Structure 1
């Protein structure tokens, strides 16, 4: 028993001092308080807005309240309203397609004796010429003649030649688009001849006479328009001769 009591006494005895434990605990608390205050001060320096009221950091031009949007128009983009489309031009007019002018030019071509309006004919409108070229090719195709390449090739080369000739004859000058527009509109009588060629044969005398009449019709209409647009009084026959040669090529395609 004495040995057991002596062993228990040795087990509970140690060199651990309670005062040292309390001192180390107090030191750790003081260390945490000191560095905690340091971190709090650093945070306040980095984020000063946390202690200041939010009204101090709003722009001077801001007229609304906090958490409510301002009614100032500078903060919101202005979107165009639907009323702005009322002043827009029609799409066909922006593309250069005017059916009124097309109809007036067509009537001028169909009536060679009608005076031409130079202001309208001076426009580079290619809607009607392209339509008439396609119609001529379609009627020739219905007659068994696929001549689209010849039509476009002769049109481009012929317009270039007459454009050069008119610039040499007139001091005012004319654009290539205007020449192509006038010659294309005056191709309408040739479309009528090619339409008749679907039902009748023009290999004889009737075809020759009809072709000459159509060539005269086309050349007089074209020369009348060029004279009116370029103010070339007294030179209609000089302008009509190269136009007759130009339309004679299409007459050869139609008859033969």
Structure 2
């Protein structure tokens, strides 16, 4: 036994004593008592009724913004939307003006409205050019390239001539618009070529009448839009040369 007591201190040495064990047990009891006090304290309510948060003068509903009619009535954006023109008019497509220009071309004796004719409206000219090419195609003539080529070159020539003759000047889009609308009688001639041949006396006379019709309508519109009174025959002559090329395509 004495031997065990002799080697016991050498076998394992530690700084932990009985006093430390008693102190740790006291600390754990104190910590548990504090947790019990904290758990017994009343916790704040996590849910508050909406009636307590809602002001007394509020009469609306939750999650729904109250509509303010005065704000929308006084908003400048509403007035700007109402004053905006239609989409087709912004794109330069006005069916009323297209119809008036078409009637002006079909009736050479009708006076032209210069304010309407002085617009760069290419909707009608493109339609009439496609219609001319389509009717020539139905007659067995593939002439789309010639139609577009002569139209572009002819518009350049007439544009240069009118700028030399008029003091105010004219835009290329206006010239192309007027010459394109006046191409409508030539579409009628090419439609007749689908059903019977124009290579004869009747076809020649019909082509001359259509050329005069197109050139007089174009010259009438140009003198009305550019205030060139007394110069209709001077403008009609180069227009007749241009429409004569289209007549050659149609007849031959």
Alignment-derived partner of residue 215 in structure 1: 211
Alignment-derived partner of residue 194 in structure 2: 198
CA pair 237-97 structure 1, distance change in 2 beyond 3 A:
same
> Which of 74, 85, 109 matches 1:113?
109
Q: Does 1:231 align with 2:246?
A: no
Deviation at 1:243, TM superposition (A): 0.2
| Residue-by-residue CA offset, 1:46-86 (whole Å, 9 max, x unaligned) | xxxxxxxxxxxxxxxxxxxxxx99x9xxxxxx9x9989754
Say which is worse superposed, 186-195 or 9-18, in terms of deviation.
9-18
SS of the residue 1:198 aligns to:
helix
SS of the residue 1:146 aligns to:
coil
Alignment-derived partner of residue 149 in structure 2: 153
Q: Does 1:138 align with 2:134?
A: yes
Deviation at 1:21, TM superposition (A): 5.8
Structure 1 residues 27-106: aligned runs within 5 Å: 85-106=81-102
Alignment-derived partner of residue 177 in structure 1: 173
- Measured on the aligned residues, the alpha-carbon RMSD in Å equals 3.1
In structure 1, distance between residues paired with 2:90 and 2:110: 29
Structure 1: gaps spanning 5 or more residues: 26-67, 72-77
Structure 2: gaps spanning 5 or more residues: 21-61, 66-71
How many equivalent residue pairs?
Answer: 203
TM-score (norm 2): 0.73
